[in-house]
């Protein structure tokens, strides 16, 4: 980072809206795109016939809206459905006769070229939208202008480099300063290239703000048009996204504070990335080479998340694929074919990076009143319960509505067959042998039906249980007789063993995976599984805690599944201890009676 000027006195502070928390200090990259020519105020007469201009316009509108639909699909998979919705709406605007008919009339009656005509028609519509009192709706005017730029670019055949390309050409990360950022601009911003974002327009709900928060980039919006004049390309600027302030020529003290905060923000990410590079290729193992499969928990990020888990973070499998993403933000349930397509995309992405045979464990739908889903409510009625954690959730919903499970299993099996992945299936919230047997019977029936339909199936699909309820702990030995594997959901297990709501901050230390009761429950699960030679995994947060993971291995857990970014640190932590040492550590910790004793023993032993 180059400090171009740091005078002794503190410079001016430009106030704005605190849009995304965090600090930034770096050179300004001023992004004021030249709007493509053809302003509505400077009409240009066409040398071509009206017929030719109309055809050119129709083609440009069709191409631009196709581009937007593609972008919408990409963004929907990679980022959020909200952002995807913006692009879809833009595509529809371009197809709207309310826009194209006036433009065609201008071509006909005034002999304008297509670009001028569409610019004038769009300007008229954008002004009308911007005149609305509703702020959110008024912002759609900017969406229309953005969509118009796409059409104009196509009409002029000019390919101006977009923001992402310009940023990629910078040698160091920058503070991005712009009048406003359009959805197209923001869709491909990258955290490594942008330290902070400052925009003249926009409040906390602007695209730039939403996206900055999603990417973890500090941002200040709404500093005003006038402020842009004092922000010059390449000059160092400070930004505090928590306070909503921009600092021109920051004082040495201020620079120190901003840099310090930046380091803290980035430290975590950087450390993880450095470790990731070093540990990506190595498989999880203790110091003496006893293998521990290190897998990723994924769910809402689609194929890209599955790919990155293996490619970037070095996951050796997926230990928990949550399937609730299928239902999020939608009014109706996806049918078997749609589920199949979605699973297949994720499975393919995983298979393209992971070695053949790498396990991919899918948890069947785990919904409940604690995480209500409109699409599910449409089937099972309103999901409001006095006591959601103990209510109709997980496998209980599936057994009450077996068709839901049957369709999901069919889609999963077909997708696994098509993508060639080593699918494992597990059921959440099992509390009785009967629940397990009923769910298993639905699986067997689906399998047989697909065989009869001559659908390509995987060679075998191990079916297991997610152990979360105290009942399943007590029944572990009996369940292990029939289930192919256990995966311990330590979050819910802790909550149920301690009868402590994990979201209730007032319960403090009660909700803790290191509570002796939870550790002994884990030991009992392992014991039950071992009686029948079944493997045990942990897929709760504890697995990704590099201080707790070694203890879990000592307790007999053979697979750990976690948020992808934790994988390198956990691999490193495990490599420090021999299996023997971890087993003896666990043996010493298990008899301890209090959380405090467990903690201090761990601290001493793992130093």
Partner 1 sequence: MASAETTLTLLNKVGLHARPASKFVQTAARFSSTITVVCGARQANAKSILQVLGLGAGGGAEVTLQADGADAEAAIAALQQLIEERFGESE
Q: Is 381 in the site for partner 1 (CB under 8 A)?
A: no
Binding of partner 1 by 128 (CB under 8 A): yes
374 touching partner 1, by CB under 8 A: yes
Tell me the C-alpha to C-alpha distance, in Å, between residue 545 and each of 373, 539, 552. Answer: 30, 11, 10
Residue 168, interface with partner 1 (CB under 8 A)? Answer: no
329 contributes a contact to partner 1 by CB under 8 A: yes
Q: Is 287 in the site for partner 1 (CB under 8 A)?
A: no
Distance CA 33, CA 51 (A): 32
Q: Under rule CB under 8 A, which residues in 331-350 are in contact with partner 1?
A: 331-332
Alpha carbon distance 487, 499 (integer Å):
20
Q: At 211, which helix (H) or strand (E)?
A: helix 207-215
Looking at beta carbons only, is 124 or 192 nearer to partner 1? 124
Residue 82 near partner 1 by CB under 8 A: yes
Closer CB to partner 1, residue 82 or residue 245? 82
**Which residue in the set 15, 40, 43, 85 belongs to the binding site for partner 1 (CB under 8 A)?**
85
Q: In what order do the strands lie in the sheet with 219-221?
A: 13-15, 245-248, 236-240, 23-31, 174-178, 194-199, 219-221, 17-20
Among 129, 167, 220, 573, binds partner 1 (CB under 8 A): 129
* Nearer Cβ to partner 1 (133/386): 133
Which segment (97-105, 231-239, 285-293, 400-408) binds partner 1 by CB under 8 A? Answer: 97-105
Q: Does 133 bind partner 1 (CB under 8 A)?
A: yes
Give me 15's structure tokens: 């106030």
Figure out which of the listed residues 19, 28, 56, 93 binds partner 1, where binding follows CB under 8 A.
Answer: 93
CB count within 10 Å of CB 410 equals: 20
Q: Of the listed pieces 49-57, 330-338, 450-458, 573-581, which binds partner 1 according to CB under 8 A?
A: 330-338
Q: State which of residues 89, 164, 433, 449 lies at the interface with partner 1 (CB under 8 A).
A: 89
Query: Is 539 an active-site residue?
Result: yes
- For residue 306, what is the enclosing H or E element? helix 302-311
User: Does residue 444 belong to the site contacting partner 1 (CB under 8 A)?
Assistant: no
Which residues are within 8 A (CB) of 419 and not within 5 positions of it... i.e. 6 or more apart? 344, 347, 348, 350, 351
The active-site residue out of 275, 398, 424, 539 is 539
Residue 487 CA to residue 535 CA, distance in Å, equals 8
Which among 18-26, 79-87, 351-359, 481-489 is the span making contact with partner 1, rule CB under 8 A? 79-87
214 binds partner 1 (CB under 8 A): no
Distance (Å, whole) CA 158 – CA 488: 56
Helix (H, G, I), strand (E, B) or coil at 171: coil
CA dist 118 and 94 (Å) reads 10
Among 86, 200, 418, 423, contact with partner 1 (rule: CB under 8 A): 86
Q: Is the C-alpha dihedral spanning 195, 199, 203, 208 positive or negative?
A: negative
* 207 given a catalytic annotation: yes
In the complex, least distance from residue 325 CB atom to partner 1, rounded to whole angstroms: 14
Phi and psi at residue 424, to the nearest 5°: -120, 145
Q: Does 125 bind partner 1 (CB under 8 A)?
A: yes
| CA 121-123-124 angle, 5° bins | 65
The whole-angstrom separation of Cα 192 and Cα 434 is: 51
- Closest Cα to residue 241, out of 275, 208, 278? 208
Is residue 137 a contact point for partner 1 (CB under 8 A)?
yes
**CB atoms inside a 10 Å sphere around CB 283:** 14
388 part of the interface to partner 1, by CB under 8 A: no
Catalytic residue numbers, as ranges? 207, 539
The residues of the shown chain that bind partner 1, judged by CB under 8 A, are 81-82, 85-86, 88-89, 92-93, 96-99, 125, 128-129, 132-134, 136-137, 140, 143-144, 329-332, 374-375, 378
């Amino acid at each position: 980072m180059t400090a171009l000027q740091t005078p002794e006195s503190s410079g001016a502070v430009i106030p704005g809206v605190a849009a995304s928390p965090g600090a930034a200090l770096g050179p300004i990259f001023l992004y004021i795109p030249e709007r493509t020519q053809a302003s509505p105020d400077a009409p240009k007469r066409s040398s071509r016939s009206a017929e030719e201009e109309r055809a050119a316009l129709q083609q440009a509108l069709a191409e631009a809206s196709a581009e937007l639909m593609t972008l919408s699909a990409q963004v929907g998979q990679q980022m959020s459905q909200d952002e995807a919705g913006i692009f879809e709406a833009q595509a529809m605007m371009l197809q709207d006769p309310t826009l194209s008919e006036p433009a065609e009339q201008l071509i006909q009656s005034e002999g304008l070229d297509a670009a001028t005509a569409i610019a004038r028609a769009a300007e008229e519509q954008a002004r009308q939208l911007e005149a609305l009192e509703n702020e959110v709706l008024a912002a759609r005017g900017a969406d229309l202008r953005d969509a118009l730029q796409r059409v104009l670019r196509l009409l002029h055949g000019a390919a101006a480099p977009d923001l992402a390309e310009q940023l990629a050409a910078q040698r160091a990360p920058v503070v991005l300063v712009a009048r406003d950022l359009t959805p197209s601009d923001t869709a491909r911003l990258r955290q490594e290239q942008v330290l902070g974002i400052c925009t003249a327009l926009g409040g906390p709900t602007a695209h730039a703000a939403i996206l900055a928060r999603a990417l973890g980039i500090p941002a200040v919006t709404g500093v005003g048009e006038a402020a842009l004049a004092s922000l010059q390309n390449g000059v160092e600027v400070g930004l505090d996204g928590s306070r909503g302030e921009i600092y021109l020529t920051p004082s040495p003290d201020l620079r120190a504070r901003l840099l310090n905060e930046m380091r803290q923000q980035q430290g975590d990410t950087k450390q993880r990335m450095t470790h990731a590079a070093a540990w990506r290729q190595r498989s999880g193992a203790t110091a003496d080479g006893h293998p521990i499969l290190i897998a990723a928990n994924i769910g809402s990020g689609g194929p890209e998340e599955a790919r990155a888990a293996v490619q970037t973070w070095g996951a050796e499998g997926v230990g928990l694929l949550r399937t609730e993403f299928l239902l999020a933000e939608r009014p109706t349930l996806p049918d078997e074919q749609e589920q199949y397509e979605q699973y297949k995309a994720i499975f393919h992405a995983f298979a393209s990076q992971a070695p053949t045979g790498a396990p991919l464990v899918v948890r069947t739908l785990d919904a409940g009143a604690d995480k209500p889903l409109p699409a599910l409510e449409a089937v099972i009625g309103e999901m409001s319960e006095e006591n959601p954690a103990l209510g109709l959730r997980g496998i209980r919903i599936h057994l009450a509505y077996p068709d839901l499970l049957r369709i999901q299993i069919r889609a999963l099996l077909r997708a696994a067959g098509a993508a060639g992945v080593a699918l494992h299936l597990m059921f959440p919230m099992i509390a009785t042998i009967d629940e397990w047997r009923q769910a298993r019977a639905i699986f067997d029936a689906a399998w047989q039906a697909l065989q009869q339909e001559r659908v390509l199936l995987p060679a075998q699909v191990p079916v297991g249980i997610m152990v979360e309820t105290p009942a399943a702990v007590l029944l572990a030995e009996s369940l292990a007789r029939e289930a192919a594997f256990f995966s311990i959901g330590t979050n819910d297990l802790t909550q149920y063993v301690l009868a402590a709501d994990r979201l209730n901050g007032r319960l403090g230390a009660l909700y803790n995976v290191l509570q002796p009761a939870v550790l002994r429950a884990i030991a009992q699960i392992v014991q039950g599984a071992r009686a029948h030679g079944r493997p045990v995994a942990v897929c709760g947060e504890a697995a990704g805690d590099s201080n707790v993971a070694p203890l879990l291995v000592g307790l007999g857990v053979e697979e750990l599944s976690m948020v992808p970014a934790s994988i390198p640190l956990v691999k490193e932590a495990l490599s420090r201890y021999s299996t023997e040492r971890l087993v003896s550590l666990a043996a010493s910790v298990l008899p301890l009676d209090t959380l405090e004793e467990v903690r201090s023993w761990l601290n001493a032993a793992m130093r």
